[in-house]
Copies of this chain bind each other. A is one copy, B any other.
Amino acid sequence: MKILITGGAGFLGQQLARALLDRGSLRLAGGEAKVDRIVCFDQGAGALQDARVEYRTGDIADPATVRGLIDRDTAVVVHLAAVVSGGAEADFDLGMRVNLDGTRLLLDACRTAGHQPRVLFTSSIAVFGGDLPAVVTDATTPTPQGSYGIQKLVGELLVADYSRKGYIDGRAVRVPTVVVRPGAPNAAASGFASGIIREPLAGVAAILPVEPATKMWVASPRAVVGMFLHALELSPQDWGWNRSINLPGLVVSMEEELAALREVGGDAAVALVRHQPDEKVLKLVRTWAANFDTARALAMGFRADPDFATIVRAYIEDNPTAIKLPGVRRSA
Least CB distance from A214 to B in Å reads 21
Complex interface bits, A133-146 against B, C-beta within 8 A gives 1, otherwise 0: 00000011111110
Q: Which residues of B contact A306 (CB under 8 A)?
A: none
Q: Confirm or deny: A323 has a beta carbon within 8 angstroms of a beta carbon on chain B.
A: no
Q: Confirm or deny: A161 has a beta carbon within 8 angstroms of a beta carbon on chain B.
A: yes
Complex contact B145–A142 (CB within 8 A)? no
What range describes how many residues of A lie at the interface? 20 to 34
Complex contact B150–A160 (CB within 8 A)? yes
Q: A165-B92, A242-B130 in contact; A150/B140 too (CB < 8 A)?
A: no
Q: A157-B153, A157-B154, A158-B150 in contact; A241/B145 too (CB < 8 A)?
A: yes
Q: Confirm or deny: A164 has a beta carbon within 8 angstroms of a beta carbon on chain B.
A: yes
> A160 vs B145: C-alpha distance in the bound complex, in angstroms?
9
Q: Confirm or deny: A291 has a beta carbon within 8 angstroms of a beta carbon on chain B.
A: no
Complex contact B92–A143 (CB within 8 A)? no
Interface-centre pick from A139, A147, A157 (highest chain B CB count, 10 A): A157
Q: Which residues of B contact A161 (CB under 8 A)?
A: 144, 147, 150
Least CB distance from A203 to B in Å reads 40
- Considering only CB atoms, which chain B residue lies closest to A96 in the complex? B104
- Considering only CB atoms, which chain B residue lies closest to A127 in the complex? B157
Complex contact A145–B130 (CB within 8 A)? no
> A154 vs B141: C-alpha distance in the bound complex, in angstroms?
14
> A130 vs B241: C-alpha distance in the bound complex, in angstroms?
8
> A141 vs B147: C-alpha distance in the bound complex, in angstroms?
19
Least CB distance from A142 to B in Å reads 7
Complex interface bits, A142-185 against B, C-beta within 8 A gives 1, otherwise 0: 11110100100110011011001100000000000000000000
Complex contact B140–A141 (CB within 8 A)? yes
Q: A140-B141, A154-B157 in contact; A147/B130 too (CB < 8 A)?
A: no
Which residues between 258 and 302 of chain A lie within 8 Å of chain B, taking CB atoms?
A: none
Complex interface bits, A103-124 against B, C-beta within 8 A gives 1, otherwise 0: 0000000000000000000000
> A139 vs B143: C-alpha distance in the bound complex, in angstroms?
11
Interface-centre pick from A130, A131, A139, A161 (highest chain B CB count, 10 A): A161
- Checking B143, B144, B165 against A147 with a beta-carbon cut-off of 8 angstroms, the contacting residue is B165
Q: Which residues of B contact A140 (CB under 8 A)?
A: 141
Complex contact B150–A157 (CB within 8 A)? yes
Give the top 10 A-B pairs by smallest Cβ distance, nearest first.
Answer: A141-B141, A150-B161, A150-B157, A154-B154, A147-B161, A154-B157, A130-B241, A153-B157, A139-B141, A92-B165
Other A-B pairs, 20, CB within 8 Å; known A139-B141, A145-B241, A153-B157? A92-B165, A130-B241, A130-B242, A131-B242, A140-B141, A141-B142, A143-B160, A143-B241, A143-B242, A144-B157, A144-B160, A145-B164, A147-B161, A147-B165, A150-B157, A150-B158, A150-B160, A154-B154, A154-B157, A157-B157
Give 16 pairs: A residue, B residue, CB < 8 Å, sorted on A: A130-B241, A130-B242, A131-B242, A139-B141, A141-B141, A143-B241, A143-B242, A144-B157, A144-B161, A145-B241, A147-B161, A150-B157, A154-B154, A154-B157, A154-B158, A157-B157
